Chain A
Amino acid sequence: MSLAERPDVHESRPVDPGLHLFDSGVGTHAFVPDGSRVYDVSAEVFAALGVALRSGGQALDDALERFSTNGSPFIDDVAPEPPSLRSLSLNVAQVCNLGCTYCYASGGDFGQPAAIMPWHVAEAAVHTLVGQADAGERVHIAFLGGEPLIGRDLIRRTVTLAVRLGGEHGIRTSFSITTNATLMTEADVEFFAAHRFAVTVSIDGVGETNDALRPFKTGRGSYDRIITRIAPLLAAQRSAGASGADHVTVSARVTVTPRNLDLLATLEGLLAAGFEHVGFSPMLSSPTGQDQLAADDLAIVLEQMVRCGRAFESEILQGRPYGFANAADALTNIHRGVHRPYPCGAGAGYLSVSADGGLFACHRFVGDEARAMGDVTAGPDRRKRIAFLTDRHVHRQEPCSSCWARYLCGGGCHHEAINRGRPACDYIRGWLHHCLGMYVRIMEQRPEYFASAALPPAR
């Protein structure tokens, strides 16, 4: 079945940017994009809204008036003033020991000569990040690559410096790393735990599925090596809760390509392997075009995501945790009514540092001079950030301006949208449509999943 033939894709197609209707099975609902608001509406109102939605014009305006919040829209056309920098990613080593064919960093070197970040760049980056934060604020440093563990010493020095500077200025620091895990040592795990790292392991499936997509440059598969290397990490993750002292969270990040489309098997396999969270990222734009998803593939991805979502829902309704990160994140966002004119913090609170000290809108734009945002010594270039945020505002994107999902999706990854356009809108809407229904069902039957206000609090 193609995407267009799927009933959920049909139901979630955009009719008007101001309203989306859905049936959760336990009731009928309106989703108002302005503020990402979810309402239960009676069957009578639901029918009337449906008529208004189809006829448009004044009838729809009148219908939407019932949801008016008596103020200006939650999001206007104007790009926000760039906030102070909250988060930097350091591309520690623009070189990698794996040879994943779809890699956005083109084998880790971003299509440019391979480079290891020199210490003075990392040092300046930490000073810039901590220097512009105020006491009491939190800053975050993410270590990326290539494979960042190739630059292990730099990571350690960077963390030590950031913790020291943060301590001196009353600024809280947090760290994360995205790694292929093949170089991870027990000493690394101890270090990550001591500094409460969030560790994301790139892994594309169980056994051969992963090996076909994530081989070493020699062609040999990486799965067994990953599993061996992360054993201490997964143990640290499990033991951390009890003592409450050193804490590390471990997630698996699965890049979805046409060659690993059995997502439910991957999800269950990786959860069984000991990961607390597993998230999927569809590969929509690879530098070579190889292994990127075509329209027909996306129909399968949606089908699989919905299956994973059903497994998640079933477990949650029975009161058991289930680490399907895409569903958990979507539910949190829907519950909070997250609405934003951007898909992420790129160019705003988040910038990425290249090995030679350039600042870029995000890690995927490293080396792209059109998205350069200053350098670590002089600090972020405010005007370039303004220009980027102005240009990338979802109100300026098409076909986003006519879509009900625009403030949940934010227009999709800037890098993918710029390089490949927006081929996955039906898929994204179909998934969000499913999540909206799931949200209402879980809230109806297991409200405590969202009731962090009830005792004892979640955090």
Chain B
Amino acid sequence: MTEPQIVPRNLTARMGYRVPGNPATSRPEDAVGNCFPGLELDVRNLDRRFFPGLVFDFVARDDIYADYDQPLRFGARLSFIDVVNDPDVQGSSPLAVQLNNALQGDAGTALSIGEWYIDWIEQDGHRLMMSSTAADGSSQAFDGLYVWRIVRGLEPLRREPADHDHPVTLGMRCRTVGSAAAPVELVGWRRRFTDPSTGVISLAFQPGEMLQSLCSPWQHDFRDCGCHYWAANHPDVVTGEVMPGEPLLPDGSPANPELANTPIDWLRADRRREMAGAMGSYVVLNRPFQMDHYQINRTWQQLSVVIQGAEIGAVWSPPDDVDARPYGSAAEMAEVIRTRLAPTELTLALEYLYARSSVVDPATLPPDAPETLHDDAVFIRHFILLTAVSEMQHLRFANQLLWGLFDSGRVTDPPFVPVLAPSMTVPTPNRDAPWRPAELRPLTMDVLDDFIAIEHPRAEIDHSWSRVVATLRHTSYPAHLVELAERVARDGNDHYSRFRDIRAVLRAAYGHADPAPWLRPLRVATPIEAGDAIAMFHVILDRLRSAYDRQAQGHYEKSGPAVVEARAAMDQLLLASDALAAQGLGVPYWTSQ
């Protein structure tokens, strides 16, 4: 092996060092531990070296409910003595010198022969035995994990000199059958695992030591891990691969809604396309159809790469960004968000809510209603509600972008004021009439087509959000802002897909039935008729205004009560609008009609 040519020396260089041969995903910031802190290493590996110069194994039963039939096996077994590689034993304090001498002298010699276990631990005048006495007077050694818990409770060394700071005395006993070795006592201390000022791990730990005993991907763990550890690293639910030549929508998703919307099991054993059925809604249902142990060990390579939720078989190329030209300035972008995007998000949320209340209530269907109408109504109302809620989130993101731009100094004028008034026009895909008035309409097929057109990935709204994303990607903007805008842009695809699902369901079930069986009669109520609902609506706007104002000033914690009140009012508004709809009335969110 040749001499390394670049060797990191100071702490940041060591921290940022990419070990040759290790993939990028081996870096801490790429780790699963970001989702499940603590699962990236086995902390027992720290405590194996709790006592300088000694390395233990915590020998435990595989099954803690199993009979305790081999008591001599369990406990903290001395694995080996490590004086030379342990920097802590090289210190110059009297205690370190004494420990070093003991380990290199008679005590170390004795401990090298036979099976040695910790018999007792003493600190600050308290001695704990690592065994209990059974009824017949025999000694019962504690399970290794029990001993480990006691070791974890030791006080670490805090300050110099070590001699005066919680020294630890270990009583070691040889359990080799027939051994006549006398017990050994060692005085030391509980090692500090990390440096108190830099956080750097003690040099006593060897490379790879923290990772031993962890699960392995590509083995049974990948399929069976009970705590869903690997679930963070592997997809559970995917959509099927789009084969070359199959029609696509402009956003790159398949035109065939079945392919686009059928969830399939990524771990399915039968990889044939025609066998890829919709997966069940919980683990047990899918287990029989997943790769079994021997399969995952042998054929894990057949598992597909997944990008944006869909399996990819061939080389993947990203779809073109749709004409995402950055805005000329932060001020221009802010103007668009303030005057067009934020108000439109609110208008759409309200149009969708109104349309939802025109759909029959599944709880009050007449006995002669079509057989599937109950389930369809549940489905439609739920999907529309999800989309309306999502639009309300977008309204908040739009406001957050505005105050973020102002806060970061990218926009100085005008100062941030919450945007909470709906737009009175909505963009259309029609070149001759690019704007239509905002309208409260029941969910007829035409209206549904209009919603689909609005949410189309190439429509005006998505286009504008793409431009916001392109603008915010520049490094001169705070990094978190672009994430908000990307979220809005991505959600647009979901909305589009949901409305198309609704249309597919309605067409399949009811064709062009007239009147549409999923609708109930509805007209826009007068403000007096809908007094309660309108009052609730204004409470929502008022509380959101207050919450945005506070959040814009950095007082997130103080905005909490207003947010909670706004949410409660949203629930009440939903109930009130359902009650009105039962009387044939829709909430007049605006009065221009």
**A, B in one complex:** yes
Chain B residues within an 8 Å CB radius of A29: 9
Spot the interface stretch: B173-181, B195-203, B521-529: B195-203
Please name the residue on chain A nearest to B202 by beta carbon: A453
User: Looking at the complex, which one of A37, A68, A77, A383 makes contact with B8 (CB distance below 8 Å)?
Assistant: A37
Contacting residues, chain B, for A36 (C-beta < 8 A): 10, 12
Most chain A Cβ neighbours within 10 Å, of B7, B10, B24, B90: B10
- Cβ-defined contact, A455 with B198, below 8 A: no
**Bound complex: CA A439 to CA B11 (Å):** 12
Task: Find chain B residues with CB under 8 A from A208 CB.
Answer: none
Chain B residues, Cβ within 8 Å of A45: 5-6
Question: What are 23 A-B contacts defined by CB distance under 8 Å?
Answer: A32-B13, A37-B8, A38-B9, A39-B6, A39-B8, A42-B5, A44-B5, A67-B6, A69-B18, A70-B18, A78-B408, A78-B475, A336-B11, A337-B10, A383-B407, A386-B407, A386-B409, A452-B195, A453-B202, A455-B87, A455-B88, A455-B191, A459-B197
Contacts of B194 in A (CB 8 A): 453
CB proximity of B143 to chain A, nearest CB, Å: 31
A-B pair count, CB < 8 Å, reads 133
Encoded as 1 (CB less than 8 Å from any A CB) or 0, chain B from 474 to 486 comes to 0111110000000
In the assembled complex, which residues on chain A have CB atoms less than 8 Å from the CB atom of B13?
32, 35, 37-39, 337
Interface residues of A in 411-459 (CB under 8 A from B): 439-440, 443, 451-459
The answer to whether A295 has its CB under 8 Å from any CB of chain B is: no
Question: A337 contacts which of B5, B11, B160 (Cβ < 8 Å)?
Answer: B11
Residues in B neighbouring A79, C-beta threshold 8 A: 408
Contact for A455 among B7, B8, B93, CB less than 8 A: B93
Give 1 or 0 for each of B179-216: 1 = CB within 8 Å of chain A CB.
00000000000011011111010110000000000000
Q: Out of A69, A383, A387, A457, which one reaches B192, CB within 8 Å?
A: A457
Q: Does A76 contact B (CB under 8 A)?
A: yes
Known: A76-B475, A459-B197. A336 touches B12 (CB 8 A): yes
Given contact pairs A386-B407, A387-B409, A456 touches B7 in the complex (Cβ within 8 A):
no
- A37 adjacent to B12 (CB under 8 Å): yes
CB distance from A205 to the nearest CB of B (A): 33
- B280: chain A residues at CB < 8 Å are none
A36 vs B8: C-alpha distance in the bound complex, in angstroms? 11
Contacts of A454 in B (CB 8 A): 87-88, 90-91, 203
Q: Indicate whether B576 reaches chain A with its CB closer than 8 angstroms.
A: no
Using Cβ atoms and an 8 Å threshold, which residues of chain B touch A74? 12
Annotate A10-37 by CB proximity to B: 1 below 8 A, 0 otherwise: 0000000000000000000110100111
Task: Say whether B295 faces chain A, with CB atoms less than 8 Å apart.
Answer: no
Q: For the complex, what is the distance from the CA of A29 to the CA of B5, rounded to whole Å?
A: 11
- A339 interfacial by beta-carbon distance below 8 Å: yes
With A78-B477, A335-B10, A386-B407 in contact, do A455 and B18 touch (Cβ < 8 Å)? no
A76 CB contacts on chain B under 8 angstroms: 475, 479
A334 to B10, CA, bound (A): 7
Complex CA gap A78/B477 in Å reads 7
**Known contacts A337-B11, A386-B409, A456 near B96 by CB under 8 Å:** yes
Q: Which residues of A contact B530 (CB under 8 A)?
A: none
Kindly identify, within residues 58 to 115 of chain A, every residue whose CB is under 8 Å from any CB belonging to chain B.
66-71, 74, 76-79, 81
CB neighbours (8 Å) of A439 from chain B are 10
Q: Is the CB of A455 within 8 A of B6?
A: no
Give A41 to B9 CA distance when docked, in angstroms: 10
What chain B residues lie within 8 Å of A69 (beta carbons)? 16, 18
Q: Which residues of A contact B407 (CB under 8 A)?
A: 383, 386
What CA separation (Å) do A401 and B29 show in the bound complex?
28
Q: Name A's interface SS.
A: loop
* Contact pick for B16, options A35, A386, A443, CB 8 Å: A35
A382 contacts the other chain (Cβ, under 8 Å)? yes
* B196-A457 in contact (CB<8A): yes
Kindly state the separation between the CA atoms of A339 and B87 in the bound complex, as whole angstroms.
29
Expressed in whole angstroms, the minimum distance between the Cβ of A405 and any Cβ of chain B is 15
Residue in chain A with minimal CB distance to B199 = A453
B161 touches A456 (CB 8 A): yes
Nearest CB of chain A from residue B406's CB, rounded to whole Å: 9
A457 cross-chain contacts in B, Cβ below 8 A: 157, 159-160, 192, 195-196
A453-B10 CB under 8 A given contacts A42-B3, A42-B5: no
**Chain A residues, Cβ within 8 Å of B157:** 455-457
- When each residue 300-335 of chain A gets 1 if its CB lies under 8 Å from chain B and 0 otherwise, what string results? 000000000000000000000000000000000011
Instruction: Using A454-B88, A455-B52 as known contacts, say yes or no to A71 and B10 having CB atoms under 8 A apart.
Output: no
Does B553 have its Cβ within 8 Å of any Cβ on chain A?
Answer: yes
| Residue numbers in A under 8 Å from B10 (CB-CB) | 36-38, 334-337, 439
Q: A40-B7, A69-B18 are in contact. Are A459 and B29 (CB under 8 A)?
A: no
**With A39-B7, A70-B24, A337-B13 as given contacts, are A452 and B160 in contact (CB-CB < 8 Å)?**
no
CA distance A6 to B329 in the complex (A): 47
Complex alpha-carbon distance, A296 and B93, angstroms: 49
Residue B27 lies at the interface, judged by CB distance under 8 Å to chain A: yes
Given pairs A66-B6, A454-B91, 8 additional interface contacts (CB within 8 A): A37-B10, A39-B6, A41-B5, A79-B408, A382-B553, A386-B408, A451-B203, A453-B192
Q: Is the CB of B9 within 8 A of A71?
A: no
Question: Which of the residues A44, A68, A336, A390 comes within 8 Å of B409, measured between beta carbons?
Answer: A390
- Are the CB atoms of B479 and A452 closer together than 8 Å? no
Determine the distance from Cα of A314 to Cα of B90 in the docked complex, in whole angstroms: 24
Give A339 to B12 CA distance when docked, in angstroms: 9
Q: B194: nearest residue on chain A (CB-CB)?
A: A453
The interface residues of chain B lying within 8 Å CB-to-CB of A387 are 409
Is the Cβ of A337 less than 8 Å from the Cβ of B196?
no
Known contacts A39-B6, A336-B198, A390-B408, A451 near B12 by CB under 8 Å: no
Question: Nearest chain A CB to B439's CB is how many angstroms away?
Answer: 41
A440, B11: Cα distance in complex, Å: 13
Which residues in A have their C-beta under 8 angstroms from that of B259?
none
Q: In the A-B complex, list the 8 residue pairs whose CB atoms are closest, starting with the nearest.
A: A337-B12, A37-B13, A69-B16, A453-B195, A455-B91, A38-B10, A456-B160, A455-B88
Chain A residue nearest to B17 in the complex (CB): A69
B554 at the interface (CB under 8 A from A): yes
**Could you tell me the distance in whole angstroms from the C-beta of A133 to the nearest C-beta in chain B?**
15
> A67 vs B479: C-alpha distance in the bound complex, in angstroms?
23
Q: Which residues of B contact A32 (CB under 8 A)?
A: 13
Query: Cβ of A41: which chain B residues have Cβ within 8 Å of it?
Result: 5-7
Q: Give bound CA distance, A76 to B481, whole Å.
A: 14
B501 to chain A, nearest CB (A): 38
- Within 8 Å CB of A44, what residues of B? 5
Query: Residues of B contacting A334 with CB < 8 Å?
Result: 10
Of all chain B residues, the one with the shortest Cβ separation from A390 is B409
One digit per residue, 1 when the CB lies within 8 angstroms of any chain A CB and 0 when it does not, for chain B 151-162 equals 000000101111
